[in-house]
Each structure stands twice: as structure tokens, then as C-alpha cells.
A and B are shown apart, each in its own frame.
Chain A
Amino acid sequence: MIRLQKPIEKIGGVSLRNHMLLAAGVLGTTAASLSRMLRLGVGGVVTKSIGPESKDGYHGPSLIPITCGMLNAMGLPNPSKEFADEISTLFAANYPVVVSIFGGTPAEFAKVAAWFPDAQAFELNLSCPHAEGYGAAIGANPRTVRECTRAVKAFGKPIWVKLTPNVADISVIGMAAEEGGADAIVAINTVKAMRISTGMRRPVLGNTFGGLSGTAVFPIAVRAVYDLYEVCGIPIIGCGGIATADNVLEMMMAGAAAVEIGSAVYGDISVFSGIAEELYADNGIPAREIVGCAHD
């Protein structure tokens, strides 16, 4: 198996400890759980998505593990502005923390971004598949994506834009983010999905439908990263179903400069250090030697 060197240069404007970040929405609501993940070997963390107003989220069931993945519709629960206090200790320690934010308009994105003057970078959630007026509801529109990106870029920090796969052509959205000034693209968020309880004769999720993540979506994510790499000049962070060192390499060959991992913590919260042990070696090659190599 190919062995890599750990990243030396910044990726998407952020200094990472390795190529694997904790994906948004997973163990990211408290400074304590994010610190724990940093201790458990993540290269960086992306926080839970923070929005203009505090939200409790949808009523449950809101997450169901299923064969080869998990289905969720959390409903963007978040403590809103209070999170700035919560996360301040991590900023003070200069940890690689990317703050995920969402809003319904460019102005709302800017409002939330203003609460985090010490963030290392922002990840714009323009991709949550099941939130009315937020996420993919506005992230499928290239013009809105461009405007939201531009609005947050005004704060002078690296901007990552997380894209939804639930569009006809993801590369169009990726290009819009780049035009808006994005420093990196994160692909993909969950794939719109649902399950029905046959015993209950009704949808299992409290919100009826939600998003699929985990192993089942890995090939979808690889394809999306591959497409984006063809048209975008900024780094791509691959996300979706990564659970092994070989998955990381495959995502890099499709064009990802780094990856985010979320659902795999369900199997093992130490998944990051497990992968790192296999992925890195002192005599490893720089990742740039394989990033996008499947396109040659």
C-alpha cells in the first residue's frame, strides 16, 4: 500500500495535523467532544453547523444506522451564538478548528461568521439535504452559493464550501463557490434518502426523509470529487463514507487534497488514529504525488 507523509503545507488555508478531519455534525457540539477527537488523532475538526438562531432540531428518530451506512435528519440543532463561548478554549489553544456555519441568505451567513473572529476557517453548510430554507435548499443554486461565499470571504479567513450531491451537476456549484472566493470545496454532504418502517407503515425518521452517509455513499463521493477536480482550481476535501486508509488514498486519487470522516466513528471512535497508523510512514511520499492521479 502507498504510504504518505503528513501534510507540511496548509490545505485550504488551514494547517492540519494529518489529512483527515472530523466531518461536521459528528461529535461537534461541545468543546469537550471536539477536544477528545483531537486527542484521538484527527488532523483537524469541523464543528457542528452553527446558525443564526438556536434550534432544537427535528423530533426523533433522527439517526438510524442501516446496512452500510446511516440515515439522519437532525434538523440543524445548534446553540447558535453561545457556541462562540463554548469553542473559545480551542481557538486559544490554536487547534485546527474549522467552524461550520449555515444561514438562509448571504447576510445570515455573514452574521454568524462575525461571531467567530478567532476561527481558523469557515465551512459553509450549503448542503444539508433536509432543512427548509437552508443547506441544499439554497446550495443547489450557483448564484446563491457564489453570494454566500463572497459574503463570508469578506472576513478575510479561509472559506471552505460544503456541497450537496443532490444536484444534476455538482461541478457547476463547485465553480460558483470558487468564483465567490472559496479556498476549498468539501464534497459531499449526505445523499437525500429515506426508509419506511414496515412494522409501523410510516417513515422511520421524524422528518420523513433525511440524508444517507457512510460506506454506501463512498462511490458517489468519489465520483463527485473526480468531477470537481476536472473543473476547479482550489483544493477539494473529500467526504462521504471514508472508513479505511485505502479509502483515503482512493479519494486523493480522485482529486481530494484531504478528507473528512464522520460516520465511521460509529464503528470505532478511534478510527482516525487507526487509519493514520496505516497511512503514514517516515519514508512516505508527499500526498501531491497521488492527488488527482486517476485523471492522467
Chain B
Amino acid sequence: MPITVYLPEKLWDALMTEEHMPVVITITAVIDETPTIKTFVFDKLFDFLPGQFCMVWVPGVDEIPMAFSAANTITVMKAGDATAALFNHKAGDKIGIRGPYGNGFLPSGKVLAIAGGVGVTPLFPLATAGEVDTFILGTRTADELVFPEELAKVTDLKIATDDGTRGYHGFVTGIFDQLDVTEYDTVCVCGPEMMMRSIFDRLAAKGIENRGQFSLHRYMKCGVGVCGSCCIDHEGLRVCRDGPVFTGDSLKDNEFAHHHRGPSGRRE
């Protein structure tokens, strides 16, 4: 018998919460992408949108947010305790996955993607889905490039390295400045916040910051919009639930590329 629903649908949803216990997956392969970046392949597929993330449970260590690089992979840079512990995992080991969470990219029309370093992770599935017309990929040096061969097959790939060991000698903005960005309807960006800021400023200078979609990274605890650990100033947007992808117009006058908060909520 169907239950009579008299509540507004949104409130009903609040009652009918789903079970979000971590899905335990077995790692089937670990791929060394660079000296500090590895891809972990799972034995399960997740139905995700490019730009969405999952909470990765490394038992006994911590649970951390990580973008999907494909339906059954995450691509991780060694950065802290949890990623260091994850790097010790090999095929056959188990980890837990909650998600997909967050909103993901919403590309339309002609799409430019700009990635810095491991920021390529959430943009990679956008490109493999055939959504990206032009892809600017930047790293410090050629050894740190992730997915260059795969990307070259699916999009017009332009590489920038800070030291000139491959492609353009300089930052991604150097390549960006050579393009007529007004030709693009959507500009999807992920990378170090100062890099994203310089792209934001260039879009804003042309009055088209609303075409920018920026994937932010913040410390997270719950991943589902309740605890508040990833809320950004000054609108109180939750990176885990309202993001992690934000359009440029929503990033005006906010903490973006200015400050962030640590586990205790203190500004860092």
C-alpha cells in the first residue's frame, strides 16, 4: 500500500533519508601516475557526475573527500595522514566509499577546461565524456602531468609547465591569454586556488565570470551539508553540498583564494 504523502515533498525527503554507510570496495589496481599521484581502481562502479566527490574511508586513519576520476577510480595526491596511508594500499585491500556527493560541473555549449596539478582529477571524466573542447593542463614539470595521453585523444589538449620541460613554458594563464575566451560558453576550472583566482579575475575583467565553474577544495567532516566544517565566507555556502563546483558569480567577495579553515574551524 502506498503511504499517503501530505507533507511538502522536501520535508518528506528529510524523513526518508537513505542509508549512507560506506560502501566497502576492493582495490583491483593501483596506477602510479606521477611520483606523488596514484590512481586507485575499485571493483565497483559509482553513478556520478564529473566534479562530484566521495568520502574515502581509510580504516583506522580518517575519511577524506576525493573527486572521482572515473566511475570506478579516484586519483589521489599524497598530502596528509590519510592519503599517505592510502598510498600503502595495494590491489586486494579494502577501503570505504560514501557518495557520490556534491553538485558536479554543469557544462553547456563550447567548453574550456583548465586544470592545475592534481586538479585534473574532476575534469578528466568531463573530458572523457566528450564534453571538453579545449583543455589546458598545467603542472610544475613534465613528470607531474597526469592523464596527458588519455586527454590528447578526447580533447584539444594544451600543456603548460612552469619549467618548460613540456609544452608552453609558463603558467596555464599564459595559454589562456592566447585564446579568445569569449568563444567559450563554459570554463571549468580546478587547481590551486591562486591559479583559479587568476582565471576568475580574467573572466571577471571581461564580465563573463558567470561562465566560470570552479571546483573548490575544503576540509570536510560530514560531506553531506550538516556539520558546517566546509562552509565558506561570506555567504555560508557548503562546499560539500552547495558545491564543490561554484559559478564565478557566487565566488565574488568571498574567501576564495584568501583564507580557509582547518579541522577546528580556525582560519588558516
Contacts and interface: CB of A to CB of B under 8 A. Distances in A.
In this complex, which of B10, B17, B98 has the most chain A Cβ atoms within 10 angstroms of its Cβ?
Answer: B17
A33 B228 contact: yes
B11 A32 contact: no
A263 B13 CA distance: 12
B265 A72 contact: no
Contact of A79 (B57, B64, B238, B264): B264
Contact of B24 (A54, A80, A197): A197
Interface stretch (B69-77, B113-121, B146-154, B217-225): B217-225
Interface in A177-207: 195, 197, 199-200, 202, 204, 206
Contacts of B262: 56
Would you call the interface of chain B mostly helix, strand, loop, or mixed?
Answer: loop
B109 interface: no
B64 A60 contact: yes
Interface in A46-75: 48, 54-57, 59-70, 72, 74
Interface in B50-101: 55, 57, 59-64, 94, 96, 98
Contacts of B227: 25-27, 29, 62-63, 72, 74
A270 B96 contact: no
A66 B226 contact: no
* Max chain A C-beta neighbours (<10 A), residue from B8, B264, B265: B265
B174 interface: no
Interface residues of B, number: 51
A244 interface: yes
B15 interface: yes
A69 B228 contact: no
B21 A266 contact: no
A208 B227 CA distance: 19
A151 to B, nearest CB: 24
B59 to A, nearest CB: 6
Contacts of A156: none
B19 to A, nearest CB: 5
A37 B237 CA distance: 11
A80 B267 CA distance: 12
Contacts of B64: 60
Interface string A29-41: 1111111110000
B265 A79 contact: yes
A271 B64 CA distance: 28
A267 B157 CA distance: 40
Contacts of B234: 32
B39 interface: no
Contact of A63 (B19, B23, B222): B222
Given A56-B262, A77-B263, A32 B236 contact: yes
B258 interface: no
Contacts of A262: 226
Interface string B237-267: 1100100000000000000000001111111
A8 B110 CA distance: 56
B7 interface: yes
Contacts of B177: none
Given A32-B236, A35-B236, A268-B10, A70 B63 contact: no
A261 to B, nearest CB: 10
Residue of B224, B229, B237, B241 with highest tally of chain A CB at under 10 A:
B229
Contacts of A43: none
Interface of B: 7-8, 10-11, 13-15, 17-24, 55, 57, 59-64, 94, 96, 98, 221-229, 231-238, 241, 261-267
List the 3 shortest-distance A-B pairs measured between CB atoms, nearest first: A267-B14, A199-B24, A60-B63
27 contacts: A32-B232, A33-B228, A36-B231, A36-B236, A56-B262, A57-B264, A59-B62, A60-B63, A60-B64, A62-B63, A63-B222, A63-B223, A66-B20, A67-B18, A72-B227, A77-B229, A77-B263, A82-B266, A83-B265, A200-B24, A204-B21, A214-B17, A244-B7, A244-B11, A267-B17, A271-B11, A274-B11
Given A33-B231, A199-B23, A269-B225, 7 more contacts: A29-B261, A62-B222, A66-B17, A66-B20, A200-B24, A202-B59, A266-B224
Interface of A: 25-37, 48, 54-57, 59-70, 72, 74, 77-80, 82-83, 86, 195, 197, 199-200, 202, 204, 206, 214-215, 243-244, 262-271, 274-275
